[in-house]
Amino acid sequence: MEQVAADALDPLAIAERWMDDGREVALATVVETWGSAPRPVGSHLVIDGEGNFHGSVSGGCVEGAVIAEAADVIAGGQPRMLEFGVADETAWRVGLSCGGRIRVYVERVG
């Protein structure tokens, strides 16, 4: 009972609910961090087949890229390991502005 409020923000609870709703679901997990990573190891981002998401693996820096990869993981079924660091200053791509590096494991649920 007392966990109802917490569950509303809990990515794993949301993953289960989405699965029950018949949605396709992928789960991204921070498995390793170096330097000043924004989210601790073990943090989750849950993504559905339409690109809806909940939770976070960074302070919003790389979520877009993870969501794009999750679509492929949902389609292909094979888990993937992603790594993000500081973006190249001249390149227009995602990175962690905090200067840290993270590895994110993305897997399909089901």
Residues that bind other proteins (CB under 8 A): 1-3, 5-6, 12-13, 15-16, 19, 27, 29, 31-32, 40-42, 78-79, 81, 105, 107-110
CB of 3 to other proteins, least distance (A): 6
Tokens for 94, please give them: 């995602």
Q: Which residue has 């993937």 as its token pair?
A: 80
CB of 88 to other proteins, least distance (A): 26
CB of 41 to other proteins, least distance (A): 5
User: 41 vs 97, which CB is nearer to other proteins?
Assistant: 41
User: 29 vs 58, which CB is nearer to other proteins?
Assistant: 29
Are 82 and 54 spatial neighbours (Cβ–Cβ below 8 Å)?
no
Are 94 and 65 spatial neighbours (Cβ–Cβ below 8 Å)?
yes
User: 17 vs 98, which CB is nearer to other proteins?
Assistant: 17
Q: What is the dihedral of CA 39, 74, 109, 67, to 10 degrees?
A: 20
* Alpha carbons 84 and 72: distance in angstroms, whole number: 18
Tokens for 5, please give them: 């409020």
User: 85 vs 87, which CB is nearer to other proteins?
Assistant: 85
Q: Which residue has 């079924």 as its token pair?
A: 77
CB of 109 to other proteins, least distance (A): 5
